[in-house]
């Protein structure tokens, strides 16, 4: 069996399983070797029931106390038992597993492993794994079991079996790092490292292996970007953008003055568009800093000069909001340009009309989702492409929209604050502008960090806000141990919250397992205040703008990075009313308190990103945590900032010594870089 062979070469992988692996991007044996776990289950000794800690995965041993109950509707049956040991009793619940009543009624000691949460009636262990008889747990004790990203029909055990076979063909010859680099950074040999990525001997061996592959991932990415930038720098600007009087009149007529930072960035964009070469610029700005109006000025400059501009948003709801805002401004300020909306959910007749207006040039500003890059969307003369929340796009978007014109200018907007030192490395193919000043009329969000005993007061506060006509978000973390339970947990929470808040308040529910259309319908209903409280996972982090929402409560805040918490907080504070953010934490650790206090005392995203960088350290390496920035398999730009900087230094030395990567020692690296460039061009929006 060789690395390049199809996944079907592995024993036990038939046609059906091969299709499932393709769903998760695994086509070859080599792909499977690099299909790293998303985390590990670390099996430790059971703790006494009295020491089960809220917010953590715990293992407890005991006997069933009293009768096992099955309640709830046919759709969501809940099995409840009480587990008792010498130190106390804990309530345990399972969703949709009524058969456990018969299985566990036989008596004897059983071991349960699951997350402990606080409910109204005290601590509850939710949906734990069952080890019965207890000897079954001893087989896994003190081991680290990999947990892989899955798709419906593909089990974790099936992946483990396939990976064990694939690793037999792993060879040190597959190592793409130059030998002197591995020596310099004390990296373990390739074969040993890749085995410890999947089946580590212990935490230390995993950490060493992970650092090696994080370094490799960053090195390939940075070299790819720098080579792309060299190739792209030669693109000449074929467009002529004359200054437009209407833009000055529009700025004078606005009811507010742009901030100094907004004006500075607008001047940088205009200079790029009027310069000799095609613009590739990233505009970083905190939530609410006014990036959209700056992008609108660039779209006006293109449209008023007779060209077209396109703005691509990550969701239909956000695309529609951009369209309504831009259409409203064109009409209000009597700007002679027409905006067009193009989204996937439009009817065939609506799309035909939009395509015709885009093709003829009647539409100067085109706003939409991925529909903008479909084959039928043909532009008359596309001169500017603006993408919103760049790192949220999925497959085949980079160049696809840019390819609709002849080397159009590219403007990327991101509300994710990244410290400038990291941004320069990560966005090496883009020039960077920062809007680091907030509009003066914006009320700062009031924050509070509380423990779970505050929950009843928080619900009462939300009731009061809703009675004043406002709306609220409640964010639940994803279930890391079993993503299939993400939907149930959010549904369970929203059901409980609906009972808690009363019949006069409509509670909605949003999670990642929903189809995009369902998500859009829920977000639209929330936008119209048909839903007053929205319980959601982090899918609301991007793509919804509801000025009427004034409260966001984030459950288990300790399970998020600071940068992500700040992004979530940005869902409120978008209107004229005072807004509030409640960080609910179950953790008692001093480190967690220190982290959350930074958010409590600052609304400045760039300061928070810097502090996130300072405090992350090695972080939770065993739940390979993602910061949500760019699409790395295992690397995290905050957690692995030091490795990122080392990789950037080495990339610079390699290109200085061997610009074309022609030396034999760089052959493996070059092959991966060429492949990575293809991925970047297809999978990341510029």
pLDDT tens sequence across 184-212: 999 999 999 999 999 998 889 999 999 99
Give mean pLDDT, residues 124-146.
Answer: 89
Paired sense of beta strands 122-131 and 110-119, if any: antiparallel
Nearest by Cα to 619 from 627, 608, 628 = 627
Mean pLDDT, the chain, rounded, equals 85
Give mean pLDDT, residues 377-406.
Answer: 65
Residues in the chain: 686
pLDDT band at 686 (very low <50, low <70, confident <90, very high): very low
State both tokens at 252.
Answer: 């004078």
Q: Residue 619's pLDDT is what?
A: 42
Torsion of CA 43, 594, 638, 39, to 10 degrees: 10
* pLDDT > 90? residue 149: no
Among residues 435, 454, 482, which one ends one of the domains? 435
By the 10 Å C-beta count (0-12 exposed, 13-18 middle, 19+ buried), 154 is classed as buried
pLDDT band at 612 (very low <50, low <70, confident <90, very high): confident
Q: Residue 362's pLDDT is what?
A: 96
pLDDT band at 64 (very low <50, low <70, confident <90, very high): very high
Q: Residue 404's pLDDT is what?
A: 64
Over pLDDT 70: what percentage of the chain?
90
Residue 24: count of CB within 10 angstroms of its CB: 15
Q: For residue 218, is it within any domain?
A: no
pLDDT band at 618 (very low <50, low <70, confident <90, very high): very low
Cis ω for the linkage preceding 133 (within 30 of 0): yes
Q: Are 62 and 124 found together in one domain?
A: yes
Q: Are 464 and 586 found together in one domain?
A: yes
Helix 291-304 × helix 260-273 angle, to 10°:
30
Give mean pLDDT, residues 484-506.
Answer: 78
Point out the least confidently predicted range of 122-136, 150-164, 227-241, 624-638. 624-638
Over pLDDT 90: what percentage of the chain?
44
Q: Residue 616's pLDDT is what?
A: 61
Q: Are 385 and 410 found together in one domain?
A: yes
**Maximal CA-CA distance, the chain:** 84
> pLDDT by residue (tens digit) across 231-288?
655 578 999 999 999 999 999 999 989 999 999 999 999 999 999 988 888 898 887 7
Q: For residue 304, is it within any domain?
A: yes
Q: Are 450 and 592 found together in one domain?
A: yes
Q: Are 274 and 313 found together in one domain?
A: yes
Among residues 126, 142, 158, which one ends one of the domains? 142
Q: Residue 583's pLDDT is what?
A: 94
Measure the CA–CA gap between 263 and 30, rounded to whole angstroms.
Answer: 50
* pLDDT > 80? residue 320: yes
For the chain, how many structural domains are there in total?
3
State both tokens at 170.
Answer: 């792993």
Among residues 602, 622, 652, which one ends one of the domains? 602
Q: Residue 677's pLDDT is what?
A: 67
Nearest by Cα to 302 from 258, 366, 390 = 366
* pLDDT > 90? residue 588: no
pLDDT band at 681 (very low <50, low <70, confident <90, very high): low
> pLDDT by residue (tens digit) across 20-54?
999 888 999 989 999 999 888 888 899 999 999 88
Q: Are 318 and 370 found together in one domain?
A: yes
Task: Find the helix or strand (DSSP H, E) in which 319 lies.
Answer: helix 316-332
Q: For residue 402, is it within any domain?
A: yes
Q: Is residue 311 left, alpha or beta, with left meaning phi > 0 and alpha meaning psi from -120 to 50?
A: beta
Residue 71: count of CB within 10 angstroms of its CB: 11
Measure the CA–CA gap between 601 and 530, rounded to whole angstroms.
Answer: 33
CATH label of the domain that carries residue 109: 2.40.50.140
> pLDDT by residue (tens digit) across 66-83?
999 998 777 778 899 999
Q: For residue 674, is it within any domain?
A: no
Q: Are 366 and 509 found together in one domain?
A: no
Q: Residue 508's pLDDT is what?
A: 93
**Which structural domain range is residue 333 located in?**
245-435
Higher pLDDT, 595 or 450: 450
Measure the CA–CA gap between 167 and 29, rounded to whole angstroms.
Answer: 9
Q: For residue 554, is it within any domain?
A: yes
pLDDT band at 393 (very low <50, low <70, confident <90, very high): very low
Q: For residue 52, is it within any domain?
A: yes
By the 10 Å C-beta count (0-12 exposed, 13-18 middle, 19+ buried), 157 is classed as exposed
Q: Residue 395's pLDDT is what?
A: 29
Q: Residue 621's pLDDT is what?
A: 42
CATH label of the domain that carries residue 339: 3.40.50.300
Contact between 264 and 294 (Cβ < 8 Å):
no
Q: Are 411 and 454 found together in one domain?
A: no
Q: For residue 341, is it within any domain?
A: yes
Q: Are 424 and 327 found together in one domain?
A: yes
pLDDT band at 478 (very low <50, low <70, confident <90, very high): low
Nearest by Cα to 277 from 230, 238, 231 = 238
Q: Are 577 and 474 found together in one domain?
A: yes
Q: Are 427 and 456 found together in one domain?
A: no
Q: For residue 536, is it within any domain?
A: yes
pLDDT band at 388 (very low <50, low <70, confident <90, very high): confident
Q: Residue 680's pLDDT is what?
A: 58
pLDDT band at 398 (very low <50, low <70, confident <90, very high): very low
Q: Are 536 and 415 found together in one domain?
A: no
> pLDDT by residue (tens digit) across 511-531?
877 887 888 889 889 989 999
Give mean pLDDT, residues 627-646.
Answer: 76
Nearest by Cα to 40 from 265, 201, 233 = 201
pTM: 0.70
Residue 75: count of CB within 10 angstroms of its CB: 7
Contact between 122 and 100 (Cβ < 8 Å):
no
Tracing tokens 């060209």 back to the chain, one arrives at 307
User: Chain centroid to CA 334: how far?
Assistant: 39
Nearest by Cα to 226 from 425, 429, 422 = 429
């Amino acid at each position: 069996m060789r690395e390049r062979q199809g996944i079907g070469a592995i024993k036990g992988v038939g046609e059906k399983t091969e299709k499932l692996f393709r769903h998760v991007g695994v086509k070859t044996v080599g792909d499977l070797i690099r299909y790293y776990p998303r985390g590990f289950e670390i099996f430790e000794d059971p703790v006494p029931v009295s020491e089960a800690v809220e917010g953590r995965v715990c293992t407890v041993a005991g006997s069933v106390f009293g009768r096992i109950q099955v309640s709830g509707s046919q759709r969501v049956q809940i099995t409840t038992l009480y587990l008792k040991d010498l130190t106390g009793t804990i309530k345990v619940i399972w969703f949709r597993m009524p058969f456990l009543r018969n299985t566990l009624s036989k008596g004897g000691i059983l071991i349960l492993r699951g997350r402990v949460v606080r409910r109204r009636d005290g601590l509850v262990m939710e949906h734990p794994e069952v080890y019965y008889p207890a000897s079954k747990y001893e087989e896994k004790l003190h081991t680290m079991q990999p947990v892989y990203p899955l798709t419906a029909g593909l089990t974790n055990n099936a992946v483990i079996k396939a990976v064990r076979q694939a690793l037999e063909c792993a060879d040190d010859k597959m190592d793409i790092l130059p030998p002197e680099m591995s020596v310099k950074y004390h990296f373990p040999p390739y074969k040993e490292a890749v085995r410890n990525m999947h089946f580590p001997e212990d935490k230390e061996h995993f950490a060493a292996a992970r650092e090696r592959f994080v370094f490799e991932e960053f090195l390939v990415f940075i070299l790819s970007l720098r080579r792309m930038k060299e190739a792209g720098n030669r693109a000449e600007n074929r467009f002529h953008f004359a200054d437009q009087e209407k833009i000055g009149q529009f700025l004078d007529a606005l009811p507010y003055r742009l901030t100094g930072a907004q004006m500075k960035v607008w001047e940088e964009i205009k200079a790029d568009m009027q310069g000799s070469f095609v613009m590739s610029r990233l505009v970083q700005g905190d939530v609410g800093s006014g990036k959209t109006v700056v992008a609108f000025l660039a779209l006006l400059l293109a449209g008023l000069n007779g060209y077209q501009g396109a703005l691509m948003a990550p969701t239909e709801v956000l695309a529609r909001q951009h369209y309504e805002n831009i259409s409203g401004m064109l009409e209000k300020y009597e700007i002679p340009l027409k905006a067009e909306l193009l989204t996937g959910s439009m009817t065939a007749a609506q799309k035909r009309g939009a395509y015709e207006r885009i093709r003829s040039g009647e539409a100067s500003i085109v706003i939409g989702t991925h529909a903008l890059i479909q084959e039928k969307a043909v532009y008359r003369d596309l001169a500017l492409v603006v993408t919103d929340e760049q790192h949220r796009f999925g497959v085949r978007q980079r160049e696809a929209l840019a390819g609709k014109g002849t080397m159009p200018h590219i403007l990327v907007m991101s509300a994710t604050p990244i410290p400038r030192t990291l941004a320069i490395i990560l966005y090496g193919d883009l020039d960077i502008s920062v809007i680091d000043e907030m509009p003066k009329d914006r009320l700062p969000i009031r924050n509070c960090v509380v423990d779970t005993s505050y929950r009843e007061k928080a619900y009462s506060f939300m009731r009061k806000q809703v009675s004043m006509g406002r709306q609220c978000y409640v964010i639940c973390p994803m279930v890391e141990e079993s993503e299939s339970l993400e939907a149930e947990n959010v549904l369970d929470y929203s059901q409980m919250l609906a009972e808690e808040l009363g019949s006069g308040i409509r509670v909605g529910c949003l999670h990642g397992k929903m189809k995009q259309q369902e998500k859009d319908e829920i977000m639209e209903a929330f936008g119209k205040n048909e839903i007053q409280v929205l319980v959601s996972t982090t899918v609301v982090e991007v793509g919804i703008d509801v000025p009427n929402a004034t409260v966001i409560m984030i459950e288990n805040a300790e399970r998020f990075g600071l940068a992500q918490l700040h992004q979530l907080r940005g869902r409120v504070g978008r209107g004229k009313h005072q807004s509030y953010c409640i960080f609910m934490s179950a953790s008692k650790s001093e480190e967690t308190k220190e982290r959350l206090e930074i958010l409590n005392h600052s609304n400045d995203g760039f300061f928070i990103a810097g502090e996130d960088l300072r405090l992350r350290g090695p972080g939770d390496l065993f739940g390979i945590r993602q910061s949500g920035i760019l699409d790395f398999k295992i690397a995290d730009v905050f957690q692995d900032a030091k490795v990122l900087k080392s990789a950037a230094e080495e990339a610079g030395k390699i290109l200085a010594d061997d610009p074309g990567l022609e030396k034999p020692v760089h052959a493996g690296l070059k092959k991966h870089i060429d492949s990575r460039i293809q991925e970047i061009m297809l999978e990341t929006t510029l």
